[in-house]
Structure 1
Amino acid sequence: MSGSLQPANGMPLYDSRALRRIEAQADVFGGDEVLMRRAGLAAWHASLTHWPRARRILVVCGPGNNGGDGWVLARHAREAGRAVRVLQLPSHASRGELAQRMRQEFLEAGGHADAALDDVPRAGSEQFDLIVDALFGIGFSRVPDAGTAALIETINAMRVPVLALDVPSGVDADTGRVPGVAVHASHTVQFIGAHLGLATGAALDHVGVRSVASLDVPRTMLDELPVAAHQIAADALPGYLPRRRRNTHKGESGRVLCIGGDHGKGGAIAMCAEAALRAGAGLVDVATRAEHVIALLSRRPEAMARAVDAAASLQPLIESADVIALGPGLGQGEWGHALQEVALAAGKSLVLDADALNLLASTPRVLPSDTILTPHPGEAARLLGTSTQEVQASRYAAANSLCERYGCVIVLKGAGTVIAAPGETMRVIAAGNPGMAVGGMGDILTGIIASLRAQGLSAFDAACCGALLHAAAGDAAAQEGGERGLLPSDLFAHVRRLANS
């Protein structure tokens, strides 16, 4: 590399506890009532921005401050000449003094509120242009009761755009978990700061487009809050990847050794090797079964493929490598186990994926701190001795637990990939798409990360940049031909282009 740039941290994400510290200091800028009025007005402005032609609006209000925000929006919408209906179930009657005050202002201005689910027509596409979800805010993390669940299911069935205030009702704002049913929003306007849980996991099926309304909270107050994670998007890539010097040579771009490809699994290690080359590694060796060498060289002659039938013949390749990518197609038999033992004992920088992770789960050990593990949720569950469901219920906690257990960098793959490392604030990837849920995508990620590590990036930066580059390439490939049927090899040209952006 020609030099080191400072990658941008990206968008800060906060947990509920941190944001409530702002609310506790509301007197600094006028009190809770000022915040609520600002939130309702900001939500109304969001609706005007995204649905300026919406004339018939249904606002669904809950019992707390989120419902109060909804009452404020409803009043603004009515004053602007919109036909507004507000639904507040008897079980959702406003409990807080502020929410009751906002409700009363709406009613005194001539507004009307319905109090029964049956009052909401099911033919939403004919009755309303927009639904506003102001049921529950960031403090709601339980399974909705039967009446609330029925209301949420009605909203989702109406096939009308939905604006969620702060968080789609039913989504845990801290973890992204959806313990029961939850609103499917078209747009979520978050108040004060971006919420940790809305960037990963099941939440991504509910939030739609996200935006943040600061409510004019002073930047200095936000700067004092603990940041739970940073979300990084494709525009952060140039910060990780400086241009190369004109007077450079292949040795300066690093040498990657890809180990894997047991009988019948040669494609995995071939894709890993090509990804390492496309991401910029100067030299790539491949240690695989003899049966895969010809096919691999035919596909990608730039990769130096060697037949390795025993662990002893792996040693010369390890000695010349800067980074080892271990696991794609490795298998869990004697061959894979023997190669893994030699690789882990070599003292080289490591990127572990697939069967290397499964072998590690069966024989846990402390790893060098610059090792990078890239599990999907199932592999993460095996490494932690838990279930996939528990991993997905709290992806941040799972990534942190893996980081603590193995003492190294973790790339927890999935919707909203999470990267954790000792002493670092977590990163969350704001890229990627459902078309990438296909076998082989992880092999490419392994090759990319190993390549970036070999080119001089720190383990944490290589993990963050690699996951981001991989996801952004997947998005670019999906834009060309759609998500369904997207193949891992479709990413290669985009990996190269984006790595040079």
Structure 2
Amino acid sequence: MITLDADWLAEHPLPEIEAETDKNARGRVLIAGGSRTVPGALALTGEAAFRAGAGKVQLATVDPAALPLGIAMPEAAVFGLPANEDGEIAAEAASKLLELLQACDTLVLGPGMGPQSAATPIVQRLLDENERRRTILLDAAAIGGARDCAAAVRTHAGRIVLTPHPGEMVQLMGCDEAEVRDGPEALARSAAERFGTIVLLKRAETWIAAPGEQVLRYEGGGPGLATAGSGDVLAGILGGLLSRGAEPRVAAAWAVWLHGESGRRRAAASGKIGFLARELLGEIPRLFTAD
């Protein structure tokens, strides 16, 4: 196990952004998720992707939420997806997502999606039909959709990142809660080997596992990060870094650190709990140049 800290990050820098770059070269992210009951989740994820340096962001959510989301976030292109009777993304959305992916470098799937969404058939189709050169982050309900797709995930050669919290890890691995509580490092490593990809296990501390690599451990950004929307922000940071061309393990480590240190800064400014997930967003760009 290796402690994730500033020294490790200095030895594993992010790709440089050239002065002459344009928004397409900076990275293009497609973020899909949300629902009728959580229509604003993608606003957090999308802004976080921008704050992490992505050049272009596309948001895809259920049709009823698309127009308000576009008004709330004028920097992003927004697309409506078919919804089921529960107000969640329907299986038919996979075709639209595959079409939108043609103009993107990275897909973030899952923020704001609930258990009544068609996450499993969407994940299965995207894994089978998406070109292997793109990176994919599976978050929230989309993680459960990957449970029976280990072989398909492995065909993407480590270009997929899974970001489970403890409950999602139980679902993904078919284990019990005690295993997540008592053996997080071993469990994260086991999941990474099973799926052949990056697994980021989110607890009070965070464990980042990759096949054939030592597990990274980040001590955590404090209890204030245990708030609704915090995971959506983390997903956006990671999606933005992946779109910029960062190697998935390096992108995951940087995203965890940026998210955690943003929490530390907000806690120092306003108290260790009570700040909102959206208040993390302004801290992210400043951390890239922090001493």
TM-score norm. by structure 1 comes to 0.52
What is the match of residue 137 of structure 2?
A: 351
Distance 2:43 2:123 in 1: 18
> CA separation in 1, counterparts of 2:253 and 2:285?
17
Shift of 1:282: 0.7
Residues of 2 paired with 1:496 and 1:338: CA distance?
36
Question: Which position in structure 1 is the counterpart of 2:87?
Answer: none
Question: Which residue is equivalent to 1:498?
Answer: 287
2:14–2:250 Cα contact (<8 Å) kept: no
Residue 209 of structure 2 is matched in structure 1 by 420
2:274 to 480, 485, 491: 485
Give the drift of 1:392.
1.3
- Alignment map for 1:398-477 (pairs within 5 Å): 398-477=187-266
* TM superposition score normalised by structure 2: 0.87
Q: CA deviation at 1:236?
A: 5.0
- Tell me the residue number matched to 1:329: 112
Give SS of 1:253's match.
Answer: coil
Q: Please report how far the alpha carbon of residue 244 of structure 1 lies from its aligned counterpart in structure 2 after TM superposition.
A: 2.3
Question: In terms of mean alpha carbon deviation, does 234-243 or 432-441 score higher?
Answer: 234-243
- Corresponding letter in the other structure for 1:352: L
> Displacement of 1:487 after TM fit?
1.3
Residues 69-121 of structure 1 deviation map (CA, whole Å, 9 limit, x = unaligned): xxxxxxxxxxxxxxxxxxxxxxxxxxxxxxxxxxxxxxxxxxxxxxxxxxxxx
Separation in structure 2 between the aligned mates of residue 301 and residue 250 of structure 1, nearest angstrom = 16
Partner of 2:86: none
Aligned-residue offset at 1:237: 4.6
Select the structure of larger CA radius of gyration. Answer: 1
Cα distance change, pair 284–500 in 1 and its aligned pair in 2 (3 A): farther
Count of residues in Structure 1 that have an aligned counterpart in Structure 2: 272
Matched, 1:281 2:43: no
Q: Name the SS for the 1:266 alignment partner.
A: coil
Deviations, residues 241-284 of structure 1 (Å, cap 9, x unaligned)? 36522111111111111011122122222211111111110111
Q: Note if contact 1:234-1:472 (Cα within 8 Å) is conserved in structure 2.
A: no
Cα distance per residue 1:313-348 (max 9 Å; x no partner)? 223211111110011122333544443333323133
What is the DSSP-based 3-state SS (H/G/I as helix, E as strand, rest coil) of the residue aligned with 1:321? coil
For residues 415 and 376 of structure 1, what CA distance do their matches in structure 2 show?
Answer: 10
1:283-298 to 2 correspondence within 5 Å?
Answer: 283-298=56-71
Alignment of 1:73-92 (within 5 A): none
Evaluate the alpha carbon distance shift between residue 293 and residue 235 of structure 1 in structure 2; reply closer, same or farther with a 3 A threshold. farther
Q: Determine the structure 1 residue equivalent to 2:79.
A: 306
Corresponding position of 2:28: 255
CA distance in 2, matches of 1:479, 1:334: 38
Contact 1:233 1:430 (C-alpha < 8 Å) held by counterparts: no
CA RMSD of aligned residues (A): 1.8
Cα distance in structure 2, aligned partners of 1:489 and 1:405: 34
How far apart are residue 411 of structure 1 and its match?
A: 0.6
Pairing 1:365–2:166 present: no
- What is the match of residue 320 of structure 1? 103
**1:452-491 residue CA offsets vs partner (Å, 9 max, x unmatched):** 1110110110111111111111111111101221211110
Asked whether the 8 Å contact 2:237–2:255 carries over to 1, the reply is yes
Q: How far apart are the structure 2 equivalents of 1:302 and 1:237?
A: 29
Aligned mates of 1:500, 1:303 — CA distance in 2:
25
- CA shift, 1:377, in A, is 1.2
Is the Cα–Cα contact under 8 Å of residues 378 and 387 in structure 1 kept in the other structure? Answer: no
**How many Å separate the matches in 1 of 2:125 and 2:188?**
27
Q: Which one has more relative contact order, counting CA pairs under 8 Å at least 6 apart? A: 2
The alignment partner of 1:372 has SS state of: strand
Structure 1 stretches of 5 or more lacking a match?
1-228
CA contact (8 A) 2:188 2:200 kept: yes
Q: Would the aligned equivalents of 2:45 and 2:236 in 1 still touch at CA under 8 Å? A: yes
Q: CA deviation at 1:388?
A: 1.8
> Are 1:230 and 2:2 matched, yes or no?
yes
State yes or no: 1:374 paired with 2:163: yes
Q: Please identify runs of 4+ aligned residues in structure 1 that moved more than 3 A.
A: 234-239, 332-339
Distance 1:492 1:334 in 2: 27
Shift of the alpha carbon at 1:381? 1.4
8 Å contact from structure 2 (residues 14, 251) kept in 1 = no
Which position in structure 2 is the counterpart of 1:49?
A: none
Paired letter, 2:111: P
1:112-261 correspondence to structure 2 within 5 Å: 229-234=1-6, 237=9, 239-241=12-14, 243-261=16-34
CA–CA distance in structure 2, aligned partners of residues 334 and 317 of structure 1:
19
